Amino acid sequence: MQLIVETSDHYKNGATPKSPMSRNFKTNKKVFFIVTILSGFTVLTAFTTSNLKNSTKTEISIKSDFCDGWEDGYCEGWKDVKGQYAICPITPICPIPEIGQDTYKGGYNRGFKAGSRAAQK
């Protein structure tokens, strides 16, 4: 038993049946993959955190003490007018503290006055 296969002259010279486009496509696919990986790495490393965290924490902690006092004082001022068992309303946003009054006690005193005035209305 003998099998006879006819081939064209093109394939006798050692050419493969793959088209030249498929080889370029694979090369382009590899290049595209490498470029994508490098671009992603570049974007991820381009953004760094700044050193402003320490200064921001200090500023927030000073304001927090005042605002905590403001909230507590507002509620107590409201209860002073409405009664001991009154439910405190939602506290307004704390104001900017005056110079020298940026402590918890300063916020409490200012909040107490504002809560008392709001309860009398």
Average pLDDT over residues 82-95: 94
Question: What single string gives the DSSP state of each residue in 2-70?
Answer: -------HHHHTT--SS-HHHHHHHHHHHHHHHHHHHHHHHHHHH----S-HHHHHHHHHHHHHHHHHH
The pLDDT score that the predictor gives to residue 78 is 97
Q: How confident is residue 45, by pLDDT bands cut at 50, 70 and 90?
A: confident
Q: How confident is residue 46, by pLDDT bands cut at 50, 70 and 90?
A: confident
Question: What single string gives the DSSP state of each residue in 21-39?
Answer: HHHHHHHHHHHHHHHHHHH
pLDDT digits (tens, 9 = 90+) for 54-64: 555 555 555 58
Specify the pTM: 0.50
